[in-house]
A and B are shown apart, each in its own frame.
Chain A
Amino acid sequence: MYHRYVVVALSRRKPNEGKELTKEEKQRLRKQKKHQKKQKERKNEKGPSETEKDKTPVSLLPPPQPVATQKAPSALPAPASAPIPVPASAPFHSSPAPSPADKPAKSKAELKAERRARQETDRAAKQPGSSSSGIKTKVPLSELNPVVKRLPEHVQVDDPAVVKRLAKKLERQQIPLRSDYGYKVSLFSHLHQYSRKAPLTQLLSIPSTVIHPSIVRLGLQYSQGIVAGSNARSVALLHAFKQVIRDYTTPPNEELSRDLVNKLKPYISFLNQCRPLSASMGNAIKYIKKEISNIPSQCKEEEAKTKLLTCIDRYIEEKIVLAAKAISKYAIEKISDGDVILVYGYSSLVNNILCEAFEKSRKFRVIVVDSRPRLEGREALRRLVQRGISCTYVLISALSYILPEVSKVFLGAHALLANGYVMSRVGTSQIALVARTYNVPVLVCCETYKFCERVQTDSFVSNELDDPDDLMVTRKGKTQLENWQDVSSLGLLNLVYDVTPPDFVDLVITDLGMIPCTSVPVVLRVKNLDQ
């Protein structure tokens, strides 16, 4: 098999020499040339200096792959080594993009690889058929193999190459690209900023042939803010997917397990365009994809569909409904008579806990803290007052005034990150900070399906920018910020999330029990072992 590699190497050096070039090898060569062209294009945008370095290692590296995998031309576009974006055939989801910061590090590695590969070809040219070449070529391959993590494309909006790649991908999936709106504050220019007045569905033909109608409806509900809140969004997503599965029929000559996953990919891109996916949604999607790909091929379609539907129902039941019950049980132990509890915004879980505690006849009162522009606290207030719980309502600016009265703070979470940081609605870290200075215990309630493997230490790198027009207020018929777009030095920033460091959080209540904030990676580890 190593002959083949040698043959190819020779053929590049001396195109007229060389033994037999089979069909596969010709295909391979053609693909390599395409590769090089694409690499050239991309590098020409960045700077001519890097073109040289990139060309050779890329062209040398693809051959060892088919060597390793022997025949089967379908194995050729094997995307085994992620740093080399393999052309075309497989729709590439998490479009890998070497971020500008990674560039210099990678080019060093590429230089090394290039040098080594060049040595290899020299040696190979001298000793045709030597077995060492095959082994050595695998070394540069493994060197460039991913230790470099790729940034998701939705935090690289200011990188034109990434945007171009995304546009191409969406074009392929026949989903319209949503354009950004308004002037973005420079610190957050790497994030998308959409306007609610221009939903993605305006650019779609209704009924859409590509996207299932329940997904279109869901996307609209997300982008208009009709369905909001981490749990609500995940449950809505799972219900929409159930409908998709019910209406799905396997096309002939296709396997359900593979085709259904491919069908879901454009839906997920569409939903992502309507509103960036939350961590809980990401975990739910991972679970569904795993379940689908685990369907055995001999399973009949009806059976497979019912199996998937029951899986999804069970997921919702276990991870959301029962988890809420378990969390309430633990949380009620922490609520004593005479407590004054502070909550922020609207968290379905915290509301659930308070209502249950009230039913178990605990005597407490609640202070609801709210903030503009979403004013979600009003919904929480309405539901608590309906139950008969005595509540107080303040805006976040009155926080330090009200805190001396408070005995405990209950917060919900959007996601819990692997380094113990809590990602939640913007304003949460402010509450945690002020509560810490007043020595008030802060309890975060979060189900385990919201735990994610990401690490984040600040609220800038990965966040969501909401419609800046929401910040405009009309009082007595006058809107001061009406023409904010005309003022060139004015930017409106409407952030959605922020991260709270673990030192400000005293306790995290999950369905597995009460844990300190620093034990989140332990739970992730235990969960991975279970799976």
Chain B
Amino acid sequence: MEWPKMTTLRLVEYFRTQVRQDPEVPSAVAAIRTLLEFLKRDQSETILGLRENLTQTIRRLEEADSSVAVSSGGELFLRFISLTSLEHPDLSQCKKVMVERGELFLKKISLSRSKVAKLCHTFIKDGAKILTHSSSRVVLKVLESAAADKKRFTVYVTESQPDSAGRQMADKLQNLNIPVTVVLDAAVGYIMEKVDLVIVGAEGVVESGGIINKIGTYQLAVCSKAHNKPFYVVAESFKFVRLYPLNQQDVPERFKYKADTLKAVEDLAEEHPMIDYTPPSLITLLFTDLGVLTPSAVSDELIKLYL
């Protein structure tokens, strides 16, 4: 049974090339594109077999890239497949419809980032001081459209160790001629009184309306709540995931660490987690391509999507 193994390897390669070629593409979109490719080439005879293969592929992809977005994108694709399979019981016709709809779906979600940016940049007023965390492409798009709207604002970015992603964000912002300052992760409390609002991206939006994002976001949220500063989250709708963590410990281990760490290391207690969970009580508003939502409305949208 060498053939299926090779296909999965090839798929992971495909996924990785996607991400490499276009650094702007969200990882969930790359995952969905990969799954669509797999669907086109799949040889299974029954819908159940197709589902089995897809679930396996998603698992392999998650092993390659352990971010929450890949998981959420995969689940969304699966659900979307099951819905189509209910309408067309004949497999070949079903596949054709699925591929068509998949392409349409991909086209729609590649526009989602600009939709979010359009909604959010009006909340940035002239002369605003914005604080953001680590490097998020959605936040970058938001700030870009605000700058294009001839607004003047300054940005503070946290350095975001251990991978210093904040510095990359600062470089990108400088290229857009936006005045930016890099601050230490530990200086969040210090800088909070100077800023007017906080905007962060999200790797995943959970059922309670909370978010999963780069480690350090929770601190940022707690500080902004203490200073009564609005805490905004920008995320596309395909990042909605069917998790419901009660606290930091409740986030599943497979998301907390990078994929290579999960495979290499035995005792995860020694490792530093890469993400944390911010509960909905600390979030003011979420900007998504479905509209501007309060944290309690996220569950409403999820019920609509999944039930």
Inside 8 A of B208's CB, which chain A residues have their CB?
506-507, 516
Which partner residue on chain B sits nearest A509 by CB separation? B244
A514-B300 in contact (CB<8A): no
A334 at the interface (CB under 8 A from B): yes
Inside 8 A of A176's CB, which chain B residues have their CB?
none
Number of A interface residues at 8 Å Cβ cutoff, please give it: 18
Inside 8 A of B299's CB, which chain A residues have their CB?
515-516, 518-519, 522
B83 at the interface (CB under 8 A from A): no
A441-B247 in contact (CB<8A): yes
> 1/0 per position for B276-307, CB-CB distance to A under 8 A?
00001000000000000000100110010001
B307-A506 in contact (CB<8A): no
Interface positions of B from 243 to 279, Cβ below 8 Å from A: 244, 246-247, 249-250
> 1/0 per position for B111-124, CB-CB distance to A under 8 A?
00000000000000
Inside 8 A of B247's CB, which chain A residues have their CB?
439, 441
A514-B244 in contact (CB<8A): yes
B203 at the interface (CB under 8 A from A): no
Q: How near does chain B come to A434, taking the closest CB pair, in angstroms?
A: 17
Which partner residue on chain A sits nearest B295 by CB separation? A516
B207-A514 in contact (CB<8A): yes
Q: How near does chain B come to A340, taking the closest CB pair, in angstroms?
A: 14
Inside 8 A of A516's CB, which chain B residues have their CB?
207-209, 280, 296, 299
Which partner residue on chain B sits nearest A439 by CB separation? B247
Inside 8 A of A514's CB, which chain B residues have their CB?
207, 244
Q: Which of B207, B246, B296 has the most CB of A within 10 A?
A: B246
The CA of A522 and the CA of B208, in the complex, are separated in Å by: 14
B303-A334 in contact (CB<8A): no
B296-A518 in contact (CB<8A): yes
The CA of A518 and the CA of B293, in the complex, are separated in Å by: 14
A507-B303 in contact (CB<8A): no
Inside 8 A of A519's CB, which chain B residues have their CB?
296, 299-300, 303
Interface positions of B from 185 to 233, Cβ below 8 Å from A: 207-209
A414 at the interface (CB under 8 A from B): no
A507-B244 in contact (CB<8A): yes
A192 at the interface (CB under 8 A from B): no
A481 at the interface (CB under 8 A from B): no
Q: How near does chain A come to B278, taking the closest CB pair, in angstroms?
A: 14
Which partner residue on chain B sits nearest A506 by CB separation? B246
A522-B303 in contact (CB<8A): yes
Inside 8 A of B209's CB, which chain A residues have their CB?
516
A523-B303 in contact (CB<8A): yes
The CA of A506 and the CA of B279, in the complex, are separated in Å by: 10
Q: How near does chain B come to A352, taking the closest CB pair, in angstroms?
A: 20
Q: How near does chain A come to B274, taking the closest CB pair, in angstroms?
A: 21
Q: How near does chain B come to A212, taking the closest CB pair, in angstroms?
A: 40
The CA of A516 and the CA of B250, in the complex, are separated in Å by: 16
A408 at the interface (CB under 8 A from B): yes
A187 at the interface (CB under 8 A from B): no
Q: Given A334-B250, A514-B207, A516-B209, check contact A522 B300 (CB 8 Å).
A: yes
Q: How near does chain A come to B283, taking the closest CB pair, in angstroms?
A: 13
The CA of A334 and the CA of B207, in the complex, are separated in Å by: 14
A526 at the interface (CB under 8 A from B): yes
Which partner residue on chain A sits nearest B244 by CB separation? A514
Which partner residue on chain A sits nearest B252 by CB separation? A333
Q: How near does chain A come to B160, taking the closest CB pair, in angstroms?
A: 26
The CA of A515 and the CA of B296, in the complex, are separated in Å by: 10
Interface positions of A from 482 to 506, Cβ below 8 Å from B: 506
The CA of A523 and the CA of B300, in the complex, are separated in Å by: 9
Which partner residue on chain A sits nearest B210 by CB separation? A516
The CA of A156 and the CA of B27, in the complex, are separated in Å by: 61
Inside 8 A of B249's CB, which chain A residues have their CB?
336
A441-B246 in contact (CB<8A): yes
The CA of A515 and the CA of B246, in the complex, are separated in Å by: 12
Question: Could you give 29 example pairs across A and B, Cβ below 8 Å?
Answer: A334-B246, A334-B250, A408-B246, A441-B246, A441-B247, A443-B246, A506-B208, A506-B246, A507-B244, A507-B246, A512-B303, A512-B307, A513-B242, A514-B207, A514-B244, A515-B299, A516-B208, A516-B280, A516-B299, A518-B296, A518-B299, A519-B296, A519-B300, A519-B303, A522-B299, A522-B303, A523-B303, A526-B303, A526-B307
Interface residues of B (CB under 8 A from A): 207-209, 242, 244, 246-247, 249-250, 280, 296, 299-300, 303, 307
